């Protein structure tokens, strides 16, 4: 085996040192081949009806590198709520800054050269990029989320995607207002359930909030992931959360796992529904997603699987009776019952979102084409919510760089 060791790169992703054998180089067109969920979950079939045109998804995360070849033209507008990012939200910030780009690609990635690179569930939708950070920010994390949700609503979001968790079931009063504002303005909010491998056994806010479509994760067999999904009665649907690939800032790609990835897949499918039924309100969009899911057990909703496995084609094509109310509840109604006596001054009474911890970045090896590698030791990495212990594959056209990481998300 030959291996060329290169020097650490300051500012790169903190990675562990397990190199993984490859028999052939993984170019960008092979990345498309890895997207098994496009066929398995009815997404490709749904594209015969719509590809998400006319719908805007807000990605509230670490910022989106819109210069990536698979994301060019996807960002309609953006902002920064951390106080340390770019005004347009298109400069990745904070620990695990690649996270937002990876998330965005699974929602709206457009690939390139016809059939290469990452394509999202809704490749003709556009996004709002809202950058935030859990370390180094000048604004408290809870306040960042509240500000981000409100800004997304004001700037035309039809769907909001949140691949993060507060790691508690409760949330601050400021979230009542922001998420209530989204509800009042007919915006569908999609949130990650979190990952058991990182200690989140039970889902936390925003996935516990009434009206929010919570996404759990399954492996390739459709079984709840032992590492990349948490359990809770608020889970709406399950989506793929293992063996995922996503765009990585700078034109590369990453293989990853976690409900961070399952969430934008579902957010993109929600965009397909909103595109296919432009006059349908958020309550009926969510109901359609739930009603067309494939149940996994006899209990629906099930505390582990929710309403079942997401089915994109059924969601855009099935005959589903209309409902008056969101089957997942209403934050406005919850506030009336449970927030009586709270004052506007009680903004963050429950403690902040736990910040991720990040090891110094180290890039440790490159695998030449046609060569294999042997594993070495692992070092931990902690990052934004939704990721579980995962293998990360960084791929540049013409060369392959493979890393193994141990990740612990925010949740």
Sequential DSSP letters for 281-316: -HHHHHHHHHHTSB-SSSSSSBTTTBT-B--HHHHH
Side-chain half-sphere exposure of 160, counting CA atoms within 13 A: 34
What is the CB neighbour count within 10 angstroms for residue 299?
A: 10
Residue indicated by tokens 């998804």:
57
Helix (H, G, I), strand (E, B), or coil: what is residue 126? strand
What is the number of alpha carbons within 13 Å of residue 58 lying toward its C-beta?
30
Q: Is 350 exposed, middle or buried (0-12, 13-18, 19+ CB in 10 A)?
A: middle
Look at 72-81, 129-138, 191-200, 276-285 and tell me which has the smallest mean pLDDT: 191-200
The catalytic position among 61, 70, 80, 158 is 61
The candidate with the shortest Cα–Cα distance to 224, out of 251, 244, 206, 242, is 242
Catalytic annotation present for 68: no
Most confident of 24-38, 218-232, 259-273, 397-411: 259-273
Residues 112, 118, 124, 126, CA torsion sign: negative
Supply the pLDDT for residue 371.
27
User: What pLDDT was estimated at residue 196?
Assistant: 53
For 267, 281, 319, 321, the CA distances from 324, given in Å and listed in that order, are: 22, 10, 16, 10
Is 112 catalytic? The answer is no
* Out of 50-59, 230-239, 361-370, least confident range: 361-370
Q: What percent of the chain has pLDDT over 90?
A: 65
Mean pLDDT, residues 356-378 taken together: 26
Annotated catalytic residue: which of 174, 260, 275, 406?
A: 260
Catalytic residue among 99, 131, 142, 176: 99
Of 156, 154, 149, give the one whose Cα is nearest residue 178. 149
Could you give the CA distance from residue 182 to residue 168 in angstroms, rounded to a whole number? Answer: 21
Residue 236: helix, strand or coil by DSSP? strand
Q: What is the reported pLDDT for 166?
A: 84
Residue 374: pLDDT above 60?
no
Q: Active-site residue 260, yes or no?
A: yes
Cα end-to-end distance, the chain, whole Å: 39
Pairing of strands 244-248, 252-256: antiparallel
- What does the pLDDT read at residue 28? 61
- Provide mean pLDDT across the span 165-180: 91
Predicted confidence at residue 214, as pLDDT, reads 96
Structure tokens at 372: 């294999």
Token pair belonging to 110: 């457009």
d(CA 177, CA 166): 17
- pLDDT of amino acid 69: 96
Highest mean pLDDT among 190-204, 316-330, 374-388: 316-330
C-alpha span between 3 and 400 (Å, rounded): 12
Q: Mean pLDDT across the chain, nearest whole number?
A: 79
Residue 18 has pLDDT above 90, yes or no: no
Has residue 406 got a pLDDT over 50?
no
């Amino acid at each position: 085996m030959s291996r060329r060791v290169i020097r650490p790169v300051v500012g790169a992703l903190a990675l562990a040192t397990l190199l993984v054998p490859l028999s052939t180089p993984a170019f960008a067109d092979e990345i498309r081949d890895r997207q098994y969920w496009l066929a398995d979950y009815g997404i490709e079939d749904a594209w015969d009806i719509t590809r998400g045109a006319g719908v805007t998804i807000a990605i509230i995360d670490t910022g989106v590198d819109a210069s990536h070849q698979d994301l060019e033209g996807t960002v309609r507008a953006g902002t920064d709520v951390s106080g340390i990012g770019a005004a347009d939200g298109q400069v990745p910030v904070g620990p695990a800054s690649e996270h937002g780009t990876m998330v965005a690609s699974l929602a709206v990635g457009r690939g390139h050269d016809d059939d290469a690179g990452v394509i999202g569930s809704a490749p003709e939708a556009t996004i709002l990029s809202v950058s935030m950070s859990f370390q180094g920010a000048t604004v408290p994390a809870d306040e960042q989320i509240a500000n981000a949700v409100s800004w997304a609503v004001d700037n035309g979001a039809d769907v909001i995607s949140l691949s993060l968790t507060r790691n508690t079931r409760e949330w601050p009063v400021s979230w009542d207002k922001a998420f209530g504002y989204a509800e009042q303005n007919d915006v569908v909010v999609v949130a990650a359930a979190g990952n058991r491998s990182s200690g989140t056994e039970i889902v936390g806010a925003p996935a516990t909030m009434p009206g929010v479509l919570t996404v759990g994760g399954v492996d390739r067999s459709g079984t709840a992931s032992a590492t990349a999904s948490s359990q809770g009665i608020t889970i709406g649907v399950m989506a793929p959360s293992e063996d995922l690939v996503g765009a990585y800032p700078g034109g590369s790609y990453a293989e990853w796992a976690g409900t961070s990835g399952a969430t934008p897949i579902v957010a993109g499918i929600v965009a397909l529904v909103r595109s296919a039924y432009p006059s349908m309100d958020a309550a009926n969009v969510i109901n359609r997603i739930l009603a067309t899911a494939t149940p996994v057990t006899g209990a629906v909703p099930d505390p582990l699987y929710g309403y079942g496995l997401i089915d994109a084609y059924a969601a855009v094509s099935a005959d589903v009776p209309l409902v008056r109310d969101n089957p997942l509840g209403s934050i406005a109604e919850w506030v009336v019952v449970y927030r009586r006596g709270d004052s506007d001054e009680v903004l963050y009474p429950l403690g902040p979102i736990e910040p991720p911890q990040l090891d110094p970045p180290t890039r440790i090896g490159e695998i030449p084409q046609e060569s294999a590698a042997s594993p070495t030791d692992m070092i931990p990495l902690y990052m934004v919510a939704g990721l579980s212990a995962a293998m990360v594959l960084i791929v540049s056209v013409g060369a392959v760089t493979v890393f193994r990481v141990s990740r612990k998300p925010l949740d």
